[in-house]
């Protein structure tokens, strides 16, 4: 009887091992599938990171290329406004005969041209302010783009690896 019990125990153990073998063989593809899915996530996050980085670089290049164009445009506008201002001074204002110590010509503005003179002067002042502000605004735009870039990277990381 001991032999029969021993044979039964061996057969039972074989059956258990066969069941484990079947369950582990069915689990292996799931594990490989999970690895494949995580690799897809990794590939997806790498391509997403590449997209985010290339978009950021393109935006910086666009900003860098547009600043000289905008500054040149303002320079052209200054030339136009300055010509109008100079012709206004020559035509409408009265020269004062005496000059200052610095050899600067002085003018007298008739009352009827004060508003127009103020407008002409204000246009020139605005252009000078724009010359001063534009490079600073572009620097702020660079910082803003960097902030946006970091936000996109963090968002991508959190979505791919919660």
Nearest in space to 138 (alpha carbons), one of 41, 54, 64: 64
Q: Is residue 91 part of a domain?
A: yes
Q: Cα 31 to the chain's mean position, in Å?
A: 40
d(CA 145, CA 41): 26
Tokens read off for 116:
């127009």
Domain count, the chain: 1
pTM of the model: 0.59
CA distance 143 to 25: 54
109 within domain boundaries: yes
Q: Is residue 16 part of a domain?
A: no
**Tens-place pLDDT, residues 94-136:** 888 776 677 777 888 889 999 999 999 999 999 999 999 999 9
Q: Which residues contact 89 (CB under 8 A, 6 or more apart)?
A: 107
């Amino acid at each position: 009887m001991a032999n029969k019990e021993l044979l039964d125990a061996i057969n039972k153990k074989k059956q258990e091992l066969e069941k484990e073998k079947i369950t582990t063989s069915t689990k292996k593809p799931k594990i490989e599938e999970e690895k494949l899915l995580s690799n897809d996530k990794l590939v997806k996050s790498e391509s997403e990171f590449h997209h985010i980085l290339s978009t950021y670089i393109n935006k910086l290049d666009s900003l860098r290329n547009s600043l000289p164009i905008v500054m040149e445009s303002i320079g052209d506008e200054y030339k136009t406004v300055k010509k109008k201002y100079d012709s206004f001074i020559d035509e409408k204002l009265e020269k004062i005969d005496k000059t200052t110590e610095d050899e600067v010509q002085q003018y007298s503005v008739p009352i009827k041209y004060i508003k127009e003179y103020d407008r002409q002067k204000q246009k020139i002042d605005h252009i000078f302010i724009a010359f001063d502000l534009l490079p600073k605004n572009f620097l702020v735009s660079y910082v803003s783009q960097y902030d946006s870039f970091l936000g996109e990277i963090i968002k991508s990381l959190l979505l791919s690896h919660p």
